[in-house]
Amino acid sequence: MITATRTLSASLVEQIRKDFPILSRKVHANPDGSGGKQLVYLDNGATSQKPQAVIDALLHYYTFQNSNIHRGVHHLSQEVTVSYEQARETIRKHLNAEHAHEIIFTKGTTDSICLVAHSFGKKFISSGDEILITEMEHHSNILPWQLFCEEHGAILKVVPVTADGTLDLDACGKLLGPKTKLFAFTHISNTLGTINPAKELTALAHAKGIPVLIDGAQAIPHTAVDVRDLDADFYCFSAHKVYGPTGVGILYGKEKWLNQMPPYQVGGGTIKTVSFAKTVYADLPLRFEAGTPHIEGGIGTAVALDYVNKIGLEAIAGYEQELLDYATQKLTDIRGFRLIGTASHKAAVLSFVVEGTHPTDIGTLLDQQGIAVRTGHHCNQPLMARYGIPGTVRASFSFYNTPDEIDRLDLALRKAVNMLL
């Protein structure tokens, strides 16, 4: 049983690691299972590993509860409906949303943003209106708005990023104008690790009557999120980033907006009554949850959030900051090493290039030594263009990583650089 603490001691981290079965495996083993390299998993920004509690929850659903929800009168359906709606309530509490019906289950952050682009955009954004995003956005918070603008004649504006990887707040203030109908920005950059001042940005927009959407995919694993304190109009994240299942996303939306938005996808579960003459759609949240949902995924998401909360987000953030500081100190004297993203307020993401090498070559050589990192543009091609690079090597840390693993990264990277330069 994990006990909440203000710090994560080495002994507690070792206890936590035992909850994640995959961390014990070796990669590149021989066909007979011999040899191989002990896995060092530093690709948490792409997806997190799953604790046994989440794995058990998925197994329990399929073993003992498998049934559809909301419309069945038999015992299994009633039981799993309660579990699913309890999961929604757990997520509401985690985000400090006012109402459970403000929590919409989706397929992921991308799906959540597409929902808002389609439904909010259709209702509130017209030809000639402006949508503001930032230069550090993941493609999932660029493409839906770009496509909407192309289809509806709206105009996409972009807040620039400074050399250190922070948003140009002066430019942001000027770009938020009378034609701006929505400001969509990331809470934490998946490439730079920059923690944006979400509350300040939201207040800046609201002062001009502009609603905001916050992409919280990278924030949810690293920090406490209070949507009412942020005053976010929309906030979205993916379960798999925060130790939950893949294929599940959460969209929080203020009731006042969701009630005015038309359905995104329609079908079973989204209706009150259907006739060939007219359909009356369901109340929140079902209006936005067409078809059979990822039931076990929703339940598993709540289990993952409970697991994180038992450890404590404050302790997680503090420990991950220690890992980031240690990794930065260890790696910066490597020949040709250049850190991309040097903001003073960062999450546990270390994105870098080694002059004279390609990120893919570095990543491949690290993998051969058991080190899993991410290489490439990280779905941030405009940001890569801003820095004039093809991509980076990204090491992203979690509370189950250790200083010893950073030492292995350091040694493996030095070996790779010596081979390439």
CATH code of 330's domain: 3.90.1150.10
Q: Please identify, among 289, 309, 329, the residue that sits at the C-terminal boundary of a domain.
A: 309
Pairwise CA distance, residues 223 & 212, whole Å? 19
Residue pLDDT, tens place only, 391-414: 999 999 999 999 999 999 999 999
Contact status, residue 399 vs residue 13, Cβ threshold 8 Å? yes
Check residue 4 and give its pLDDT: 43
Pairwise CA distance, residues 396 & 72, whole Å? 43
Question: In which domain, by residue range, is 81 found?
Answer: 55-309
| 76, 147: one domain | yes
Number of independent structural domains in the chain = 2
- Name residue 26's beta-bridge partners: 38
pTM, 2 dp: 0.97
Contact status, residue 92 vs residue 228, Cβ threshold 8 Å? no
Answer yes or no: is 117 within a domain.
yes
Contact status, residue 119 vs residue 264, Cβ threshold 8 Å? yes
Say if residue 64's pLDDT is above 80: yes
Of the pLDDT bands very low, low, confident and very high (cuts 50, 70, 90), residue 257 is very high
Check residue 236 and give its pLDDT: 98
Answer yes or no: is 103 within a domain.
yes
Say if residue 185's pLDDT is above 90: yes
Neighbour tally for 22: CB within 10 Å: 10
| 129, 179: one domain | yes
What are the residue ranges of helices labelled H in 226-294?
227-230, 255-258
| 248, 328: one domain | no
Answer yes or no: is 3 within a domain.
no
Residue pLDDT, tens place only, 293-305: 999 999 999 999 9
Say if residue 2's pLDDT is above 50: no
**Amino acid (one-letter) located at 281:** Y
| 316, 304: one domain | no
Collapse the DSSP code of 6 into the 3-class scheme (helix H, G, I; strand E, B; otherwise coil) and give the result: coil
pLDDT over 90 for what percent of the chain? 96
| 269, 330: one domain | no
- Mean pLDDT, rounded, for 245-262: 98
| 399, 292: one domain | no
| 182, 162: one domain | yes
Answer yes or no: is 257 within a domain.
yes
Answer yes or no: is 2 within a domain.
no
Q: Please identify, among 272, 293, 309, the residue that sits at the C-terminal boundary of a domain.
A: 309
Residue pLDDT, tens place only, 368-384: 999 999 999 999 999 99
Dihedral of alpha carbons 279, 282, 284, 290, sign:
negative
Of the pLDDT bands very low, low, confident and very high (cuts 50, 70, 90), residue 271 is confident
243's CB contacts (< 8 A; 6+ apart) are 48, 49, 50, 51, 54, 221, 304, 307, 308
The whole-angstrom distance between residue 32's C-alpha and the CA centroid of its chain comes to 37
Contact status, residue 187 vs residue 215, Cβ threshold 8 Å? yes
- Mean pLDDT, rounded, for 187-197: 98
Answer yes or no: is 360 within a domain.
yes
Neighbour tally for 325: CB within 10 Å: 12
| 211, 326: one domain | no
Answer yes or no: is 84 within a domain.
yes
Q: How many CA atoms lie less than 13 Å away from 48 in the CB half-sphere? A: 29
- Mean pLDDT, rounded, for 151-156: 98
Of the pLDDT bands very low, low, confident and very high (cuts 50, 70, 90), residue 1 is very low
Check residue 71 and give its pLDDT: 82
Say if residue 77's pLDDT is above 70: yes
Across 1-10, 110-119, 268-277, which has the greatest mean pLDDT? 110-119
Q: Please identify, among 266, 284, 309, the residue that sits at the C-terminal boundary of a domain.
A: 309
Lowest mean pLDDT among 16-25, 164-173, 174-183, 266-275: 266-275
Pairwise CA distance, residues 193 & 78, whole Å? 43
| 315, 304: one domain | no
Dihedral of alpha carbons 56, 62, 66, 70, sign:
positive
Tell me whether strands 249-253 and 212-215 are parallel, antiparallel or unpaired. unpaired
Check residue 268 and give its pLDDT: 85
Pairwise CA distance, residues 315 & 228, whole Å? 22
Match 């996808």 to its residue by tokens.
265
CATH of the domain at 212: 3.40.640.10
Check residue 95 and give its pLDDT: 98
Nearest to 140 by CA among 340, 381, 349: 381
| 86, 192: one domain | yes
Nearest to 184 by CA among 256, 104, 224, 125: 125
- What average pLDDT is seen over the chain? 96
Q: What is the DSSP letter of 239?
A: G
Catalytic residues: 379
Nearest to 119 by CA among 258, 283, 266, 290: 258
| 110, 196: one domain | yes
Of the pLDDT bands very low, low, confident and very high (cuts 50, 70, 90), residue 33 is confident
| 16, 121: one domain | no
